[in-house]
Structure 1
Amino acid sequence: MKFAKKYATYMKGMEAELPAVGLKRLKKMLKKCRSHDGAAAGSPAAADRCPGHCSVCDGSFFPSLLNEMSAVVGCFNEKAKKLLELHLASGFKKYAMWFTSKGDESHGKLIQQGKDLVTYAIINAVAMRKILKKYDKIHYSKQGQEFKAQAQSLHIEILQSPWLCELMAFYMNLRRSKKNKAAIELFSDCSLIFDDDRPTLSCNLFDSMHVDISLTCSICLDTVFDPVSLSCGHIFCYLCCCSAASVTIVDGLKSANHKSKCPLCRQQGVFPDAVHLDELNMLLSHSCPEYWEKRTQSERVERVRLAKEHWESQCRAFLGI
């Protein structure tokens, strides 16, 4: 079965109607463009391709795809955040959230919703990749790849969403529980792999769809501890992030200057909207307990030292010393 048919079948099978990439409509746009150029050139060979900057496509193809991907990512982030908040909530807050959802969020249903959301994210990412590849093939251009880079800077690349990583960790945490053996059957292709002590969160869906997320901090070159995901999608340790953003742990990343850049991609303004990856933190703490205990102790000492330095500096400033 071709991907377009597989994609259409999957989206029709969703319980709730969710935003999608209009593959069929976008392909028709490209087909019209190809036939238009072929008629103008009067050559069968020219009918297969059209030149790089095409007004027929560019005026409608990219704006349409941009709107659709924005809707898909927005929907995914909202639903994933709500699901994970319910799972991580405790005490009265959890009961209040359960009550407001009318009590229909059973454990098994939460598992299924999470699985559906991860599948939804990955299949839409593949759909975007394939339609952009087709655009470049027809136009002899690299505009499709340029659009993908633009999508990353606009934070509408769904594979960069911190909630995708959190949902994958969510499943691994459920698998760890003896009470949740059903999670293994529902999502057996999600795994945490250690290669030379470097962890990677890996997920396989539909045979050809594969996602790998490195869990090594690019600043300290160690396994991420108290991980946070910047709005550009890169994951670092919280202390490393604070150091890179030139902020104290007391003030936090929200106080970071909007001109501060990601240490990896050099994109500006990515620190204030950073997301704490609590599910991932939980997963790593149980997957490598000895390392985690040692790292926890060293981090505690470092945080006390940094907090002490901060407040001593504030006192000196207040006293005018």
Structure 2
Amino acid sequence: MKFCKKYQEYMQTQAQKKLPAVGFKNLKKILKRCRTDTILSQNSHRSQSSSPHSSSDISHDHHCPVCDGTFFPSLLKEMSAVVGCFNDRARKLLDVHLATGFRKYFAWCRDRLQGNHGGLVREGKDLVGYAIFNAIAMRKILKKYDKIHYCKQGQAFRSQVQSMHLEILQSPWLCELIAFHINLRETNVDSRKASELFEGCSLVFNDGKPSLSCELSDTFKLEIDLTCSICLDTVFDSVSLTCGHIFCYMCACKSGSITIVDGLEAADPTSKCPLCREAGVYEGALHLDELNILLKRRCPEYWEERLKNERVERIRQAKEHWESQSRAFLGI
């Protein structure tokens, strides 16, 4: 089955949720019209030339007024809507799952009364599928653009989307959802149902290095490295910067030249990610609570050791912070 048809069928199953999607079919129609114009233009060029030209003779800097005026703006608008919807729904879902006390009891009773027990499980599964299907759709339509125009503008557009944080596979909420899946599977609550739905998600260790793996189809597999590129160890108290790179919280604070008392939001706007060197990525950083729960459960000895070592440093920084605050207050 062609991906366009498969994608349409998938989105039809999600129609009741009114989720935004990549207009794959409409974008293909734009490219189809462009392909016809390109072939006519090539034939005209060949008839006026004494020597034959191959497709490789076409400039890689080719600009199509039809496609560039409608194709990229439409795709950018659709991807922005998709990522915004995905992040918002994932945040709400995980807020409910991580709720404590009366709020958690209220959510449990509500689902029971509505006959929707296990709704979080299905919603989480659907959100991961939604992210992956739309990521594949964007990649395929951009690849088709480059093939028709004999250029690399589609690839350049994808890089632009990533720099704007509109690449859905970069979203830290996707990492959190995969960890959420595994956490549900390893608990006693609805374990059978969770196991059936989330068998494509797992935490794997290669040479002692952990990574999250998600495989929902034979053609797509997502892997997220969980090694901090600063301390070169398994991420501890993990946090994702807005560029999508994951670090230990204390390591991220050090790289941003701030203390853990101040928090990442206190980092200078010009501070850059240690990995991709993008500036302004600290203020919107996200604590990966589901991932921390998963790693704490899977690596208890490592977690306890890191916690013990970091507690000393955290106390030292807190003490220095309050001493400096006291001196400033007393005017010393």
Q: Does residue 290 of the first structure (1) align with residue 290 of the second (2)?
A: no
TM-score (norm 2): 0.91
Distance 1:47 1:60, change over 3 A: farther
Cα 1:260–1:103 shift into 2, 3 Å: farther
Task: Specify the alignment match of 2:277 in structure 1.
Answer: 266
Q: Deviations over 1:156-206 (max 9, x none)?
A: 100011110000000100111133221111110101001111100000012
Q: Which residue identity is paired with 1:119?
A: G
Residue 64 of structure 1 aligns to a residue whose secondary structure is helix
Number of corresponding residues: 321
Unaligned runs of 5+ residues in structure 1 are: none
Deviations 1:126-178 (A, max 9, x none): 11011111111111211111111111111110001111000000010011113
CA–CA distance in 2 between the matches of 1:67 and 1:138? 22
Q: Alignment identity in percent?
A: 63
Query: Deviation per CA, 1:236-281, whole angstroms, max 9, x where unpaired?
Result: 1111111111111111111111111111111111101001100000
Is the deviation greater in 91-100 or in 169-178? 91-100
Cα deviation digits, residues 37-79 of structure 1 (max 9, x gap): 2223335999989752222211111000000000000110111
Q: 1:130 and 2:140 equivalent? A: yes
TM-score (norm 1): 0.94
Aligned to 1:9: 9
Residue number in structure 2 paired with 1:198: 209
How many angstroms does 1:98 deviate by? 6.3
On the 8 A contact 2:172/2:240 being kept in 1, the answer is yes
1:155 maps to 2:165 = yes
Indicate conservation of the 8 Å contact 1:216/1:222, yes or no.
yes
| Contact in 2 for aligned 1:229/1:236 (Cα 8 Å) | yes
Aligned-residue CA RMSD (Å): 2.2
Question: 1:219 is matched by which residue type in structure 2?
Answer: I
2:291 counterpart letter in structure 1: L
d(CA) in 1 for partners of 2:248, 2:114: 36
Find the counterpart in structure 2 of residue 62 from structure 1: 72
> Do the aligned residues in 2 keep the contact of 1:38 with 1:48 (CA within 8 Å)?
no
Cα shift at 1:93: 3.0
User: Does 2:241 match 1:230?
Assistant: yes
Partner residue, 2:37: 36
Moved more, 33-42 or 220-229: 33-42
**Alignment check: 8 A CA contact 1:229 1:274 kept:** yes
Within-5 A mapping of 1:296-315: 296-315=307-326
The answer as to 2:105 corresponding to 1:119 is no
* 1:168 equivalenced with 2:178 (yes/no): yes
**What are the superposed Cα offsets for residues 294-316 of structure 1, whole Å, 9 maximum, x if unpaired?**
11111111111111122223334
Partner of residue 154, structure 2: 144
- Structure 1 residue 320: Cα displacement: 4.7
| Structure 2: distance between partners of 1:74 and 1:183 | 26
2: CA distance between counterparts of 1:297 and 1:268?
32
- Structure 1 residues 74 and 104, CA gap change in structure 2 (3 angstroms): farther
- Secondary structure in structure 1 of the residue aligned to 2:215: strand
How many Å separate the matches in 1 of 2:246 and 2:115? 30
